[in-house]
Amino acid sequence: MSVSPHVIICQLTEEGSKATYYAMRKFKRCWCAYACIDNKHYSSYYIGHLFTEEKILSLIPPPEKIYLDIDQFEHCSPLLQQLVNQLKITPEQGLSDYLARTESDPNYIYQKFVRNFRFDKQTLIFIDFEAFCSTPLFPSEIGAVRVLNGQVVATLHSFFTPNEEELQMLKNNQKIAASVIYTKKITAIPPPWEEPFQHCKPVARFAEFTLLNEFCTKSSDYLKQFEQVKIIKEFAEEPQFAFVGKGIHLEKKILSEMKFTQLIIETEDIFKVAFKKDPVFENIHENREFKYCAFHQFKGKGHCGLDDALYLAELVCNQKQAEEMKNEVVE
């Protein structure tokens, strides 16, 4: 069998296209996507390596099937060309080289984690950052919640204060200062050069903040010594974990800056895999109990990193408990 990718293009209804997609997901080392091309038909693309033509075609519903080898691919759509080029290898490279590249790909790793997700096997760190400014990056607050077996076991909260050089940049660069002042309307965190910022406690230097790694991995007995950490239930040391957030662009950027290599998962993906449904985020800042840090309780408003992380963690944990109760009733 050829090592080069093979491509199948199918004209399908939406239902047929989705059926093809989910059938392909049962197998490893394959790639499938679909996109609407008009109101009635979908174009379903499959790229795979470990199946014969007959095996692939047997999974795809009628009415129309077109098989293309890699050499014919220049006549296809730009989108499909781009997808194949991402996987294209020469026979000299061999299949093992392709598979090694696939397994190191961040998207593959992410999808594999989500697909195999189990509450009783994963330590989750729900995390939310706030920032004085995102470009250049100046974090202002972290809220994190450690979840084990679907239960909140500890929280972490701290503000970040800039060093003198950073403070002068934040204060004296007109564009950056305007961003800092604007974000105060969202987070309620005052500019760090103003006196009210002295009420933001506990506080740490972002560049020196190593506590997050310890919070994610160390035992409750060890973490009790830190004022930024609140222990809710006892737990043992656990080196393996994954981050969870919502709208994770800022979190990815900051965690990368902190040299973390662990996955950060969207809360929506946890819901889709674990509960087969989407979370409800409409009006999330209305009609719910806020669990602000001491500073935001004083302010009575604004996004709070601790509150946002706790909200996401409890949203997932409460749904897990609801699913367990439903299963007990069925049994």
Q: Of 47-51, 120-124, 293-297, 315-319, which range is least confident?
A: 47-51
The pLDDT value given to residue 63: 45
Total number of domains constituting the chain = 2
Q: What is the pLDDT of residue 275?
A: 81
Question: Residues near 161 by Cβ (< 8 Å), separated by ≥ 6?
Answer: 192, 197, 200, 203, 204, 205
Q: Which position has the higher pLDDT, 89 or 299?
A: 299
Q: Are residues 50 and 126 in the same domain?
A: no
In a domain, 136, yes or no: yes
Considering the domain architecture, whether residues 193 and 219 belong to the same structural domain is answered as: yes
Rounded mean pLDDT of the chain?
73
Which three-class secondary structure state does DSSP give residue 65? coil
Evaluate whether 270 touches 117 at the Cβ level (below 8 Å): yes
pLDDT bracket for residue 68 (50, 70, 90): very low
Is residue 175 located within the same domain as residue 252?
Answer: yes
DSSP string, 197-266: GGG--SEE-GGG--HHHHHHHS-HHHHTT-TTEEESS--------EEEESSTHHHHHHHHHTT--S-EEE
Q: Are residues 128 and 198 in the same domain?
A: yes
- Same domain? For 214 and 94 the reply is no
CA dihedral 84, 85, 91, 97 (to 10 degrees): -100
Structure tokens given for 303: 């996004």
Q: Give residue 329's pLDDT.
A: 55
* Mean pLDDT of all residues in 124-151: 92
Determine contact, residues 320/150, Cβ cutoff 8 Å. Answer: yes
**Whole-number Å distance between alpha carbons of 158 and 100:** 40
In Å, what is the CA distance from 39 to each residue of 60, 66, 124? 20, 21, 41
The answer to whether residue 112 sits within a structural domain is no
Q: Give the chain's end-to-end CA distance (angstroms, integer).
A: 48
What's the confidence (pLDDT) of residue 7? 46
Provide the residue count of the chain.
331
> pLDDT per residue over 204-229, tens digit each?
999 899 999 999 999 999 999 999 99
User: Are both 155 and 96 inside the same structural domain?
Assistant: no
Q: How far apart are CA 289 and CA 320, in angstroms?
A: 19
Report pLDDT for 325. 73
Residue 84's domain comprises: 6-104
Residue 328 to residue 331: CA distance in whole angstroms: 5
Percent share of the chain, pLDDT over 70: 57
Determine the average pLDDT of the residues in 239-254. 91
Q: Closest by alpha carbon to 313, among 146, 157, 187, 141?
A: 146
For residues 237 and 129, state if they share a domain. Answer: yes
Q: Does residue 1 form part of some domain? A: no
* Interval 15-32 mean pLDDT: 52
Which residue, 54, 69, 104, sits at the end of a domain?
A: 104
Residue 110 lies in a domain: no
Which is higher by pLDDT, 125 or 295?
125
- Whether 52 and 141 map to the same domain: the answer is no
Give the highest mean pLDDT range of 62-71, 197-206, 210-219.
210-219
Q: For residue 182, is it within any domain?
A: yes
**Position with higher pLDDT, 214 vs 95:** 214
How many Å apart are CA 124 and CA 265, to the nearest integer?
9
**Residue reference for tokens 């990815």:** 252
Tens digit of each residue's pLDDT (9 = 90 or more) over 262-305:
889 888 888 887 887 777 766 555 555 666 665 555 455 556 77
Q: Are residues 148 and 24 part of one domain?
A: no
Please check the confidence at residue 36 and state whether its pLDDT lies above 50: no
The pLDDT of residue 226 is: 96
61 and 129 share one domain: no
Rounded to whole angstroms, the Cα distance separating 277 from 257 reads 33
Nearest to 273, CA basis, from 319, 311, 313: 319
- CATH code at position 290: 3.30.420.10
pLDDT at 61 over 60: no
pLDDT digits (tens, 9 = 90+) for 98-123: 444 555 566 667 767 776 777 777 89
pLDDT tens-digit map of 173-189: 998 999 888 888 888 88
User: Are 322 and 212 found together in one domain?
Assistant: yes
Residue 125 has pLDDT above 80, yes or no: yes
Give, for 31, the enclosing helix (H) or strand (E): strand 30-36
Residue 185: its pLDDT value, please? 83
The band of 39, judged by pLDDT with boundaries at 50, 70 and 90, is very low
Residue 275 in any domain: the answer is yes
Check whether residue 245 and residue 174 sit in a common domain. yes
Q: 3-state class of 49 per DSSP?
A: coil
Question: Would you state the pLDDT for residue 47?
Answer: 45
For residue 192, is pLDDT > 70?
yes
Among candidate residues 74, 104, 134, the one where a domain is terminated? 104
